[in-house]
Structure 1
C-alpha cells in the first residue's frame, strides 16, 4: 500500500511528522505500507516551511509542487494542475490530507477526480463561519472524503449530522499533540530572550493573522491600542506574520509594549509559549497546544472549530470586541483564569492509531501491528 501524504503550509507539518514516523515503524515491523510525501509549496518561506522539516525530522519531500503565491483561486488551480501530474506519474492507493489549508481541499478534489480514495486527518471540525477560507476548505474536503480521522467527539457529531456513516469515522486524537509531546524536550530558547530581558511567566505571546483582525485597520489598531494602554501589562512578544507586518506598516500603527519579532521556528515558538504567562491569538492550532500545556489562552474570534479547547481546555473565546481582551487580561493578571483538562486521546499516540486503521482498511499484511499504548 502506498499513501500520498500532502503538506503545504505551516500548520500541516507538525501534523504529518508523526504519521510519517508511524508508517516507518509499521514498515520496519513487516507491514506492506509506504508513502510519498508531497509538498505543495503553499508556504515557501524557510521560516514558514523549511525549518519545520529540519526541526521535526521530516524527510525531504518526494516532490515539491512549488505552487505558492497568487490569490487563493490561483493557488488552488496551480496545486490541482501540478498534483494531478504527480498522481498520474505515481499512482497511490490513498491520498492523505491534513488540516484545512488550501492544499488540503485542492489535493482532495484532484485525487477524487482520479478515483483515488481520500483520508482526512482532522476531519469534521467546524467553526460555522463561512467568511473563513479554512471553513470552506473543511466543508469541501469533507464532502468528498472517504475516511475521517477525528480529534474530538464534537468533530464526530458534525460528521454524523452531515450524513457520514459511522464506519467511515475513526476517533483517533490529535497528531499535533503527538508532535508537541515528542518535541517538548527539544524546545529552543530564542536568541532574543536575553535581549528583551524575558523571564518565565513574565511576558505574553501574541499571534494574529486572520483577515478579520489584521486586514481591517480599525480592528487591528483597536487590538494594539488595548495592549499598549495596559498599565499593568507584561511585555508582549509578537512573532509577526508577513501579511500582518505589511498591514501594520501600511496602517501606520505604532508598537511599543508590543514587541514585533520575525516568524519563529516550531521549537523556538513553543519554547516561548511554554514559558509565557498567557497567549493571545486568533489561531486554532495554538489553542490546542496551550490546552495541553495548561496555559491561559485568549482567542480573538467569534467562533472556533475546536470547542473542546474551551469546554475542556484553557482557551476562552473572546469575540471580535477588543474590550473583551482588556477584561480577560484583568482576569489573567489577578490569577482567576480557569483550570483546564486534556481532551480524550490527546496522548501522543494518534499517528499510531491512524496507521493501524489504514492497515486494517486496506488489509495490509503485517508481521506485527504497530503498538498503541
Structure 2
C-alpha cells in the first residue's frame, strides 16, 4: 500500500486537492494499491467550510483538523509543525503532498523531511520575486526541501532548474485548480445577489481585495476604491468582502450606490459571478487563473505576479498598486479592446490524472 498524506491549510487549497483525491479514488478502483489521508491544518478558519463545502467539491471531509489558526507567522508555523509531527508519527506515509504557498505548505514540508518522508509540491516553482510576501518565503523554503515538483508552467520549470533542481524531479502537469474549475463549471450556482442587485450578464464587475499592500494602508485602499468607482462608468461593482477588509472599510465610511459589499460567497456562487462579469478587479493569484480560463478580462492590483502565463496567454493584466495607473486599463476595457486570451498549455482538466499516473509509474517504485 502506497500511502499519501495530503495537506490543506486554507479554502483555496481544497480546490487544488479535490481532483487529486478523485484521481486517487479512480486509481484504487483500477486496483492500484494506493490510499490517502487528508490533513486540514486549520490554518484559516472559514465559517463557509461546512459539510456542504466538501459536498460541492465531491470529496470527503478531512480525516483530521489540526485546528492551528491564529497567531503570528512564527507562532502559526510552530503550531502547525508541532501538531503535524504528532499526526505524521501516528499515521506514517510514503509521501507528503503539499499544495500552493500557504504557511501550512512550508511547515508540513519541514516536518515531513525531518521524519524522512518524501515531499511532493503541487504548484512548485512559481515565483513573484517579492520577498515582502509571506507566500514567497513559503515557496522558496518549500522548494528547497522538496523531492518531486508538479508544475503549472514552463516558467516554473525554468525557475526550478535555475535553482539547481534536476530534470528528473520536475513534472510539468498543469494546474489542478483548473481541473476543479472545469469539472464544476456546469454546477456554478446563481447567488442571491444576482436577483437582489438585478445583475445582467456582461453588465457588472466583480472585485476582490485582501492583500496587506492594498488593504492595510487605509488611504491607499480608499484611493483605490475611489479610482475604481470613478472609471467604471455606470456598472454595478460586486465586492465580496473579506472580514478583515470589511472592518477597515467601515472605519473609512466607504460607500457608493454602485458599490455593493456582500458577504463572502461559496466557490460555485463566486465563479457564477466571475463567468458572467464584464471584468474582474482583484489582487488574488488564483482568481487571475480562473478568469483567464473563463476568458473574462482581469485587472490585477499588484506590482508582481507569480503567474505570468495569465498575462502572456490569459486575459490578465498587471495594473500595479498605484491607484492612478488604473484608468488606462479601464479605458481599454470599455473601448472594447481587451485581449481575448488563449489556451494555456496543460490547463485542460487532466492535471490530477497526470499526477497520479506519475505517482503510480515513477515515484512509488523509488
TMscore range, shorter length: over 0.9
In 2, Cα distance between equivalents of 1:13 and 1:178: 12
1:51·1:265 contact (CA, 8 Å) conserved in 2?
no
Q: Partner residue of 2:200? A: 199
Q: Partner residue of 1:98? A: 99
For structure 1, which segment, 70-79 or 291-300, has the greater mean C-alpha deviation from structure 2 after superposition?
A: 70-79
Unpaired segments of 5 or more residues in structure 1? 366-373
Unpaired segments of 5 or more residues in structure 2? none
In 1, Cα distance between equivalents of 2:171 and 2:102: 21
1:43·1:49 contact (CA, 8 Å) conserved in 2?
no
Q: 5 Å matches for 1:204-215?
A: 204-215=205-216
For structure 1, which segment, 182-191 or 69-78, has the greater mean C-alpha deviation from structure 2 after superposition?
A: 69-78
Residue deviations 1:295-352 (CA, integer Å, cap 9, x gap): 1000000100000000011100011111222221111111110121121000100000
In 1, Cα distance between equivalents of 2:164 and 2:178: 28
For structure 1, which segment, 259-268 or 66-75, has the greater mean C-alpha deviation from structure 2 after superposition?
A: 66-75
Residue deviations 1:113-134 (CA, integer Å, cap 9, x gap): 1111100000000001111111
Secondary structure of 2:48's aligned partner: helix
Residue deviations 1:212-269 (CA, integer Å, cap 9, x gap): 0000112101111112223714111001111111121233433432210011100000
Q: Partner residue of 2:178? A: 177
Q: Which runs of 4+ in 1 moved over 4 A?
A: 48-51
Q: Partner residue of 1:359? A: 360
Secondary structure of 1:44's aligned partner: coil
1:312·1:340 contact (CA, 8 Å) conserved in 2?
yes
Q: 1:81 and 2:82 equivalent?
A: yes
Q: Partner residue of 1:34? A: 35
In 2, Cα distance between equivalents of 1:18 and 1:229: 41
In 1, Cα distance between equivalents of 2:239 and 2:356: 37
Q: 5 Å matches for 1:1-373?
A: 1-47=2-48, 51-230=52-231, 232-363=233-364
In 2, Cα distance between equivalents of 1:255 and 1:73: 39
In 1, Cα distance between equivalents of 2:270 and 2:331: 25
RMSD of aligned C-alpha atoms? 1.4
2:51·2:61 contact (CA, 8 Å) conserved in 1?
no
Q: Partner residue of 1:369? A: none
Residue deviations 1:138-193 (CA, integer Å, cap 9, x gap): 00100100000000000000000000000000000000000000000000000121
Secondary structure of 2:39's aligned partner: strand
How many correspondences in the alignment? 365
Secondary structure of 1:348's aligned partner: coil
1:33·1:364 contact (CA, 8 Å) conserved in 2?
no
Seen in structure 2, the aligned counterparts of structure 1 residues 51 and 242 have a Cα distance that, compared at 3 Å, is farther
Highest RCO, 1 vs 2 (Cα 8 Å, sep ≥ 6): 1
Secondary structure of 1:95's aligned partner: strand
Report the CA distance between 1:46 and its aligned residue: 2.3
Report the CA distance between 1:364 and its aligned residue: 5.8
Seen in structure 2, the aligned counterparts of structure 1 residues 329 and 352 have a Cα distance that, compared at 3 Å, is same
Secondary structure of 1:193's aligned partner: helix
In 2, Cα distance between equivalents of 1:50 and 1:315: 33
Secondary structure of 1:46's aligned partner: coil
Secondary structure of 1:47's aligned partner: coil
Report the CA distance between 1:293 and its aligned residue: 0.8
Secondary structure of 2:98's aligned partner: strand
Q: TM-score, normalised by structure 1?
A: 0.95
